[in-house]
Structure formats: structure tokens, C-alpha cells
Amino acid sequence: MTKVVKSIKKVLKLINIKDGMTISFHHHLRNGDYVMNLVLEEIAEIGVKNLTLAATGIYPIHQPLIKKMENKIITKIDTDFISGPVGEAIVNGKLEQPAIFRSRGGRARAIETKELKIDIAFIAAPSADSAGNINGVDGPSACGPLGYAIPDAHYADKVIAITDNLVDYPLFPVRIEENLVDYVVVVDKIGDAQKIMSGTTIITRDPIGLRIAKYALQVIEQSGLFKTGFSFQTGAGGISLAVADYLHKKMKEKNIIGSFALGGITKFLVDMLNEGLLKTLLNVQSFDLDAVKSVKENPQHQAISVSRYANPKAKSCAVDNLDISILGASEVDTNFNVNIVTDSNGIIIGGSGGHNDSAEGSKLTIIVTPLIRGRFPVVVDKLTTVTTPGRCIDVVVTERGIAVNPNNKEIEERLINSNLPIVPISKLKGVAYQLTGKPEPIKFYDRIVGKVEERNGKIVDYIRMLKY
Amino acid sequence: MTKVVKSIKKVLKLINIKDGMTISFHHHLRNGDYVMNLVLEEIAEIGVKNLTLAATGIYPIHQPLIKKMENKIITKIDTDFISGPVGEAIVNGKLEQPAIFRSRGGRARAIETKELKIDIAFIAAPSADSAGNINGVDGPSACGPLGYAIPDAHYADKVIAITDNLVDYPLFPVRIEENLVDYVVVVDKIGDAQKIMSGTTIITRDPIGLRIAKYALQVIEQSGLFKTGFSFQTGAGGISLAVADYLHKKMKEKNIIGSFALGGITKFLVDMLNEGLLKTLLNVQSFDLDAVKSVKENPQHQAISVSRYANPKAKSCAVDNLDISILGASEVDTNFNVNIVTDSNGIIIGGSGGHNDSAEGSKLTIIVTPLIRGRFPVVVDKLTTVTTPGRCIDVVVTERGIAVNPNNKEIEERLINSNLPIVPISKLKGVAYQLTGKPEPIKFYDRIVGKVEERNGKIVDYIRMLKY
């Protein structure tokens, strides 16, 4: 028995791809992913139209997607994250219907509740056998735990593994079992694993960033949560990683052993695990090749599904057990709402990813951000796009002061009594505006090009087409 | 966050157990399982009625279930296997509605297609944390891969982990993720893991059994399938295990390296893996503590879900990739149909388990059985209960001759040209009847007490109430 089909074109015909279908992709290969482009190229040749692209992440490498939007092959996008030219194309109105931006957990929720129905899931498979058993940890394009692809594998009508490493049946270890997979297609390369690690996963060297990281560490130390058994998640931004680095040193110094670190996993966290400073890592996505290697080799480094990571409608999920999240922001308003989807020019530059999930789940959510970015204030009166609601944010740390959400009385009291430069958030905004001037309002058309959901599915904001 | 509830009684009230519900259990602890009895005791006290018991296996230790049948607490049973007094009670009419006997894969199919709807799954959890992450490989009652509980965890409305080894969050490794689990109850002991291994998983010493095993080995050698890369499954009966033992020696002698062995895993197969005679083991259930230990420690020894093992409606399953199955029988008829549910007295003594699945899936299915058992013929005109249809059976090996299903021309030709004592199956029946006399027909009432399904859900036979 074999499910191996000779080419992507052949499998698309076999499964009878049709106008209006929803096709899905996972982004564990990030900016090194070749699979989405390969599949869309073949789909373009077949000539089907009006597809929904349910991709967990879209990167600069996916620029050819813009042409498919223009040609009405892809008319809707459902995603957690977009960086690069596709985001710009969307705010320029090139996608027929509004893109939907979900959090990681929100996407898992939408799939499991059948709100997001996937017709065909294409799974970039670093290793597969002829029956469709898949793992993400072996082969030349090994990319880690495949956590984001798990709901797609379970709920899509048809599941296609695209691999560049076909091995004898039965593959081992197995991450996605054969009973879920319809076909296997072998291609030359599914991606370039070297590009999993990107500019956003390098620790900052900027002195402002390091100052912010140092403040954030002090907030953690003062929070009452920094003790043996604590857990945390950091974003993969340069400042967040610097916080992880400082945290590492402080844990060592104080002999504090953490319970788990969660989320996108980096070398920084792998080192902490290996030094015995963490009991386990819960890895839904590896952010570099050290994390890919470690999740394969170290049983204390666990691959988890995205539902276990963050699905708010699941019976529980790991983010809801978090003590501390250290996250980034593109903008923060004076009600502590955070924008992480668009920049101050109104261009799509990201998405919630796990931001919304871990901010809501964790006991203490710290936003680390410079107060101004380029010539724009980060703390503002009104966000370009609300992504994560202010009720989920506890502390905003900038190089010029730290603001505490007055809703979190406990942390407010703890920090007011510290040596840290605690200021009202309106003060941060004031300082920012003094430096940059009040930003010019961005000019938009009325046309909605994106809808931003909270993890529970509620729309928190709309993205509109840009007027230049 | 914690899902820990103080007692089984409390959790039953919390989830509002009601008359007519379907409750499920897995049997990885086999005759050492305490969980089903503990739960049924509490249910009896609460006083709900007319429950369906969807238990993957029922053992002698579950004798207290009979009282629950008499009291109409349990009025229907849906299972893959029953050994011990419960089977006798059913043929004596003590269960209100007919019991349904499915194969392993058939049960997974029924759950995944929603034909079998489980309201509450009780999962005996050798290790669990407060959020309900579960594994089967740690703790005092470690029992292995929990493969049969996977569909229950995914599809039941409520999922309750019952554990005697609650560990700090987050547990690792994890077999069933927290997002699927509602509550965790801690009890003194979920079972006695020493009793996983039973009389049926000991290699035969009987010279007749050993002769049969030797013949079976020769059939395998002549089959054309015995070469590097071949795969097999053996039942856990004493003769099947003897075949595995002979196979082991022959593989070593001929330097043949198998691809995988499948199913219930025993020390015999673990030894073959460790000696490099097999590439991997696919373990849905550990039959002894060596197999429990190995599936924890050896990454080449893989835990698989029952859907991957045998679900005929899955996109594929491992039994369909099998070369050879060596299976037992309680009776075989002259059309090669096999009975593995009842004995020659009409009493329920087993069930398909994976019999139907691997017989249908594998290229070559060999039944190993003595020609007579007690004073009864095994090869008969008419089965007491059809379990596995004759079309799935290729060869029947007895101590007094080997019969080949004429539908399998290739194997017939190969074996006819060997030195083996190949005879028509009617001849085997004739010899048996000569020795035992023609068996007296069993006396039944019309009342149906059991329905036996093929793995695809088709009813192949009925079990009737016994008249003594």
C-alpha cells in the first residue's frame, strides 16, 4: 500500500480541487518554506479560483501569493501572522475579501468548532513514509514539532503530506499518524531550514533594548512570581530574548528552577533546560535549529499541539497555566490595548501569533517595547489596530518608564514600592509625543481589508485599505 | 488551574451522570485493572440506570460488573473482548440488551464515525498532572501506550483521568494532552500492573503446541514473504508466542531483518528489536512489563493509537501494511471462518480484539490451533459464533495437518510443493470428528445476547442465550 503520488499537480487532480475551497498550510519552516509557493503555482496552472488560504503564517518568501490574489485564485486569507510584502499588498486592497487574523489558539478553536472548515491541508513534512506517517524532526528540512499542523491533520477533509525525505515504512518517530493522511508527494525540497531563524529571533544589542530588558527583569523579580516552579513565555523579538537571557542569569544566581517555558522555543530556552534551570520545555514551534535538534533528542523538551498550547475552547491549555509572558508590541494605547498586527503606517507587519493567547492566559503579562520606533510614538492615544485587549496586559516596560495597568492592584502595589521608574501610561504617551510630535492620522479608505479576532473569536478591530 | 476532583463520587456528580449514558474504559491494565470496578461501585451508589458500558476489554477481575447487570445499572455492553465470568453471565441472559462485540479497529471506526457516542470516558492514567496531561509509561501502574484510549479521549463528551500518580504540572512525556481532559481523580491504586501479563501471554510448553508452531514457521518460510523488510503480528496465545520464538531464531540464522512487528507487544518482540532483528515495534498495547519499559525507553519502540493500528475507515492503518499475522482460534469451519468469541460450549471467552483487523489487513493470515481442544473438535462443520470471515484466513495449522484456503492460489501452490502435511480442511474436520465424535449441538434459547461485528461494522453473527 502506498499513498505516494508523483506530483503536486497529480494530487490536486486526484482530490478534485475546486473553486471556493479552503486550503491550509503550516509555517514551521517560516521564511524558509517552499511548500506554499509550490502548491499555489500548480493550483494557478489548474485554474481554480476563489480559494481561501488558511495559512498559519505568511512570510516574505511567499511574495508570489500576491499574484494569486490579483488573479482571484486566492480571494480570502485566514491567518495568524503575516510579515513581508503580502501584508502590504493586503492593505493596498489586493485581496478580494477581508483577511482574518486569529491568534494561535483562536485558529485551533475555529478549526475544532468547525467555524474554519479546511478542505485540503498541505503539510510540509520533513520526513514521511509511503503511508503518510510524518515527523518534523528528521530529514534535511527538519523544523521541529509541527504543533500548528495538528488540527489541520485531524479536521481537514483531505490531508496531503509534501516531503523531501521519503523513508521506508514505518517511519519513526511519528508526529502525525498515517490514519490522518490521504496522500504523500515527494518534492526536491520543502524548504530551507536555515531560514527558520530570522532577524526577529536574534537577541538585541541595542542599548535601549537592553535597558528595557533589564527593567523587565526587575519587574519579574518584584512580581512575587519569580520563584522555583514558575513558568514563562517570551516572544521571539530581540528585547524579549534579552529578557530571557537576563532571566537565565538571574535564575542561576538565585538558584531558581523554573517549571516550564512555553511557545516558540529558541536556543536560549534550550540552554536553560540543559543547565537544569527549567524542568521542561513545551514546544509548539522551534524558532531555531538548536530548538529543532533538542526537541528531537531530549525527552524533557516536549512537542505539543497548538490546541494544547493555546486553544481557549479546549478543556485546558498550557498558556492558561503560565505565570509570566514577556511580549512585544507595535503600539500600546493608554488603556493598555496592544497592536501587533500593523505598524504606525497602517501596514500589516505581523499578527497575534500567540500574543493574545499568552497575554490572556498568564498571570503577569509584560510588554517590552521602546517608547518610540523610527519617528513614531509606540504609546499612543489610539491604536492603528487593536490586537490584544488591555485587560490582558499588566505592565508596559519602555526605556523611559514603566506603566502598570491599574486593574492589576497587586502588581501595581509591588512595583510602586520598588525603585523602578513607575509612571502612569498617559505620562509615557506624553513623553513619546513630546519627542515625535503627535502622529499624523493615517489616511484610510472605508474598505475593510482585514478583521482581527481575539482568541475567543470576537472581532476586536478592522484593518482598512490604505490611502497614500 | 487544577482539574483535580477529590473523589470519583464527586466527579460523577460534577458531570451530572444520567440514566442511559454511555461510559467507556480502556483495558491496558487487563486483569489488573481496578478502575472500572471503582467507578461502577460509585455509579451504583448514585443510582443511575441503563448505562452502556463501552469497555475495550473485560477481564475476570471485573466480576462485580455482573451485579450491575442484574441491577440494570449496566444494560448494554459494547466491547472488543471479554474473558471470565462476565462472559458467562451474558450467555446466561444477565445483560438486558445484546452485547456488541467489535474488533479493535471496528471500535475506533465506530467512535470516529459517531456510531458509538461516548458520554464519559474514564481513563486509567498511570501518570497525570493537575491539568489532565496523561502518560501510560510512568508510575507504579505503568501499563504502556494507552493506544485503545485515544479515540475515547478525542471523542467522548467528558474525559476523566483516574490516576494513582499525580505529578507536578507539566507532566512529561505526555500521551494524552490536557486539552482533551476534563477532570482528574486521584485514587490509591488504579491497578496491579503485575497482572498485565496473564496465562495467555506465556509461551506454550505443550509438545503439540510446539509442533504446531514449528509447522507455522515452515509455512512462513515457504510463503515467499519471509525476507528482509517483512512485517508480522502474533496473537498473545501460547502457540502464537512459540511461533514468534521460532521466527526469532530463524531470522537470526538467516540474517533476515524485519521491518516491524505490530499489535500487543511482548518481551519476545522487544528482544527481537533489541537484537536488531526488527527495525521498529508498533505498540498499541503492552502485554507484559518488559514491553511497558521498552516503549518508554526505546524510541524505536513506538506507541500508536488504535486508529493507526487498525481503523478500517481511517485513511490507512498499520494492519493493512502487514505481511503476516499469526492468530489463534477457538473454532474454524470448513469455509475457514473463525470463532474467537465463544468456546465450543457456547460460552463467551474472548472476542476479536485485533483478530478481524489483522486477518483482513495482512497478506498472509495463519491460524495456529490444536485440532481438538478438551473433548471438542476445533475444525468443525459449523461455528458456534463466526468472528472473522473465511475470506481473511489463508492457512490453518494444526498438529495433524495444514489446510490452505483455496482462494489464495499463490500460497496454495507454494505449500503444496513443500514437505509440509497439506490437507484439505474437510480432512482436518474429519480427523477431528473421528477423535471426538461429532459434537452435540449446543442448546440455545432464541434470545440474542450478543452481536458480533466485522471491523467494518457488518454483523457477522449473533450469540444466543444458553439452555443447559
Residues A7-45 have pLDDT tens digits of 999 999 999 999 999 999 999 999 999 999 999 999 999
User: Is the minimum CB–CB distance between A305 and chain B shorter than 8 Å?
Assistant: yes
Contacts of A174 in chain B (CB under 8 A): 302, 304
Whether residues A180 and B229 touch (CB distance < 8 A) is answered with: no
> In a 10 Å sphere around its CB, with 0-12 CB exposed, 13-18 middle and 19+ buried, how is residue B367 labelled?
buried
B89 shares a domain with B43: yes
Closest residue to B179, CB basis, from A3, A299, A315:
A315
Residue A466 lies in a domain: no
pLDDT exceeds cutoff 70 at B199 = no
Cβ contacts of A177 on chain B, cutoff 8 Å: 304-305, 307-308
Chain B residues whose CB is inside 8 A of the A304 CB are 174, 177
Domain membership of residue B128 (yes or no) is yes
**Across B234-263, average pLDDT:** 94
- Domain's final residue, options B196, B219, B239: B196
Q: Are B210 and B173 in contact (CB under 8 A)?
A: no
- The range of the structural domain enclosing residue B349 comes to 199-441
Residues A206 and A302 in one domain: yes
For A379, list phi and psi in degrees, rounded to 5.
-90, 120
Q: Using CB atoms within 10 A of its CB, is residue B437 exposed (0-12), middle (13-18) or buried (19+)? A: exposed
Residues of B in contact with A169 (CB under 8 A): 259-260, 321
Q: What is the pLDDT of residue B205?
A: 87
Q: Could you give the CA distance from residue A395 to residue A411 in angstroms, rounded to a whole number?
A: 8
Residues A324 and A305 in one domain: yes
A277 and A408 housed in the same domain: yes
CB distance A179–B280 less than 8 Å? no
B450 lies in a domain? Answer: no
Are A321 and B131 within 8 A, CB to CB?
yes
Q: If contacts are CB pairs under 8 Å, which of residues 264-293 in chain A contact chain B?
A: 279-280, 282
Q: Kindly state whether residue B385 falls inside one of the protein's structural domains.
A: yes
Q: Do A168 and A61 belong together in one domain? A: yes
B137 and B249 together in one domain: no
Chain A nearest CA to B323, separation (Å): 11
Residue A447 phi, psi dihedral angles, 5° rounding: -60, 125
> What pLDDT digit, counting tens, does each position of B138-169 carry?
999 999 999 999 999 999 999 999 999 999 99
The residues, ordered by sequence, that sit 6+ positions from A79 with a Cβ below 8 Å of its Cβ are: A53, A54, A55, A56, A57, A58, A99, A100, A101, A102, A351
Instruction: Please indicate, yes or no, whether residues B183 and B206 belong to a single structural domain of this protein.
Output: no
> Are A26 and A157 within one domain?
yes
Which of A131, A282, A311 has the CB atom closest to B321's CB atom? A131
Q: Residue A172: list chain B partners with CB under 8 A.
A: 280, 299-300, 302
Please indicate, yes or no, whether residues B185 and B220 belong to a single structural domain of this protein.
no
Could you tell me if residue B447 is inside a domain?
Answer: no
The minimal CB distance from A172 to the residues B182, B302, B314 is found for B302
Cβ atoms of B34 and B140 closer than 8 Å = no
Cα separation, A64 vs A39, in Å, equals 11
Based on the fold, state whether residues B373 and B249 are members of the same structural domain.
Answer: yes
Cα B34 → chain centroid: 19
Query: Which residues on chain A are in Cβ contact (under 8 Å) with B177?
Result: 304-305, 307-308
Q: Of B170, B196, B222, which residue is a domain's last?
A: B196
For B9, the 3-state DSSP assignment is helix
Q: Where are the alpha helices (DSSP H) in B255-322?
A: 267-274, 289-297, 306-310
A317 within 8 A of A438, measured Cβ to Cβ: no
Q: Give the predicted TM-score (pTM) of the model.
A: 0.96
Of residues A202 and B315, more confidence is placed in B315
The percent helix, strand, coil of chain B (3-state, each to 5) is 35, 25, 40
Residue B198 pLDDT level (bands cut at 50, 70, 90) = confident
Determine, yes or no, domain membership for A297. Answer: yes
Residues of chain A with pLDDT under 50: none
Among candidate residues B268, B263, B298, B266, the one with its CA nearest the CA of residue B284: B263
Residues B28/B58, Cβ–Cβ less than 8 Å: no
Q: Are B171 and B284 found together in one domain?
A: no
A152 by Cβ neighbours in 10 Å (0-12 / 13-18 / 19+) ranks as: buried
Buried b (16+ CB within 10 A) or exposed e, A269-283: bbbbbeeebbbbbbb
Cell of B7: 473523589
Chain A residues 367-406 within an 8 A CB cutoff of chain B: none
Q: Provide the pLDDT for residue B181.
A: 98
Domain boundary among B148, B177, B196: B196
Domain count, chain B: 2
In angstroms, the CA B346 to CA B438 distance is 16
Phi, psi of A53 (to 5 degrees): -100, 105
Whether residue B114 lies within 8 A of chain A, CB to CB, comes out as: no
Side by side, the strands of the sheet bearing B338-339 are B338-339, B331-333, B379-380
Show residues of chain B in contact with A173, CB under 8 Å: 299, 302
The cell for A157 is: 477533509
CB pairs under 8 A between A and B: 112
B329 belongs to a structural domain: yes
Q: Is the pLDDT of residue B200 over 90?
A: no
Q: Tell me if chain B has a CB within 8 Å of the CB of A157.
A: no
d(CA A96, CA A422): 46
CATH of the domain at A57: 3.40.1080.10
Is B462 within 8 Å of B346 (Cβ atoms)? Answer: no
ipTM value for the complex: 0.95
Q: From A299, which residue of chain B is nearest by alpha-carbon distance? A: B173
Residue A28 lies in a domain: yes
Asked if B131 is an interface residue toward chain A (Cβ–Cβ < 8 A), one would say yes
The mean pLDDT value for B396-415 works out to 97
Q: Which of B3, B172, B315 sits opposite A180 (nearest CB)?
A: B315
Q: Are residues B177 and B205 both part of a single domain?
A: no
